[in-house]
A and B are shown apart, each in its own frame.
Chain A
Amino acid sequence: MHELSIAVNIVEMIEDNAEKEKALNVDIFEIDVGTLSGVVIDALEFALEEAVKDSVCSKAVWKINKIEAKAKCRRCGHIYSVDDYFSPCPKCREFGKEILQGKEIQLKSITIE
């Protein structure tokens, strides 16, 4: 359940930014979660329900964008979509790959008043 620590980190990050902007309330926040980030989106939703309570974003609605992972084949350089670490390159069957995107968990934006 590291989603809990993640949710708490998200709320702290929102509070820091909201304070910087002197916001009274956060209405919306948006998070990008890569499909290889190790975060289970359902578990994160559940954890956020708790983590936002009594915070500046207690009434906010949130949007979680799922970022599809992309990898570059280590042998032939082919760029392809991946759902996991253990699928081979569709062109040359090599397993070695560099993950180009899909590992990220980031706070994308907040909408404040």
Chain B
Amino acid sequence: MCDNCGCGQPGENVTFRKPGENKEHTHSHGGVTHSHTHGDHDHDHSGSREIVIEQNILQKNDLLAERNRGYFEAKKIFAVNLVSSPGSGKTSLLEKTIRILKDKCSFYIIEGDQQTMLDANRIEKAGAPVIQINTGAGCHLDADMINKAVKSLEVKDNSILLIENVGNLVCPAMFDLGESQRVVIVSVTEGEDKPIKYPDMFQSSDICVINKTDLLPYVDFDVEKFKEYACQVNPDLKFFELSAKTEEGMEQWNRWLQERD
């Protein structure tokens, strides 16, 4: 929500910061200013003409995303956009992945959260270069933020770029970042109906990670039912079942990341 008036308009500033850095790189969206007077709608319409536009409203983001994609391809960077509802275990999965594979692969991490450096600090401890994007009021990362973050991180050729999106199963679905693959993470505590309740996210993803499988004995989560729902929305979805806590099932995920298929 807008800090000034609570109208829900995106806030002014998005910040970029690396752990240990005091200075924030702020970046303001050349946006719309606010006022709360409603203009009256009746006036003379003579002398007006209609202009056909037919432009995609997300065109700006989509074009930037394509530019990112081209850059990643040219530099052989494998870019993965991780999306999920808050708390599904995105950061935990990244921490474990980095700890297990950091001697074999070169990782760069972009952390997206509305507030705090918490996740970036966790990633730094795990041992990978990271930049935190705080979106403030924003509920998703966009292609422009990724472009800036990648420049600041100085991502090397042939590396793996893991982007943790803002925890939200709705909005990030619409914003292409230029990623090579989109991964939706669901934890078994969330219920198996998520794919049909939030179909856009499952429809737009390539991979689905079912996390916290160590908790399966304690919750009513029918893995097969979940997959059935997910495949109704997206028959091409590929699944990994794992526990970021016990590391059970992580070998397949790690192999997939290394082989980049």
Contact = CB atoms under 8 A, between A and B. Distances in A.
Q: Do A and B bind each other?
A: yes
Interface of A: 1-2, 4-6, 8-13, 17, 21, 27-28, 31, 36, 38, 46-47, 49-51, 53-55, 58-59, 61, 74, 84-86, 88, 95-96, 104-113
B232 interface: yes
B233 A86 contact: yes
Contacts, number: 133
8 tightest A-B CB contacts, nearest first: A2-B171, A86-B232, A113-B48, A59-B39, A85-B199, A96-B235, A85-B233, A111-B50
B32 A54 contact: yes
Nearest to A109: B52
Interface in B46-103: 47-58, 60-61
A107 B41 contact: no
Contacts of B51: 17, 21, 109-112
A6 B50 contact: no
B32 A55 contact: yes
Contacts of B57: 6, 9-10, 13, 31, 105-107
Contact of B34 (A46, A54, A61, A112): A54
A33 to B, nearest CB: 9
B257 interface: no
Interface of B: 7-10, 29, 31-41, 43, 45, 47-58, 60-61, 138-140, 142, 170-171, 173-175, 195-196, 199-200, 202-203, 229, 231-235
Contact of B9 (A51, A84, A108): A51
B227 to A, nearest CB: 12
5 contacts: A8-B32, A12-B60, A47-B9, A84-B199, A111-B50
Contacts of A107: 53-55, 57
A13 B53 contact: yes
Nearest to B173: A38
Contact of A59 (B10, B43, B229, B235): B43
B135 to A, nearest CB: 11
B36 to A, nearest CB: 8
Nearest to B61: A9
A112 B207 CA distance: 46
Contact of B200 (A1, A38, A88): A38
B33 A54 contact: yes
Contacts of A54: 32-35
Contacts of A6: 57-58
Given A59-B43, A84-B199, A2 B54 contact: no
Contacts of A12: 32, 60
Contact of A106 (B37, B54, B195): B54
Given A47-B8, A59-B41, A85-B199, A108 B58 contact: no
A14 B199 CA distance: 30
Nearest to A36: B200
Given A2-B140, A27-B48, A28-B50, 4 more contacts: A4-B8, A9-B61, A105-B56, A106-B56
Contacts of B31: 8
Contacts of A85: 199-200, 202-203, 232-234
A52 to B, nearest CB: 8
Contact of A110 (B7, B45, B50): B50
B32 A2 contact: no
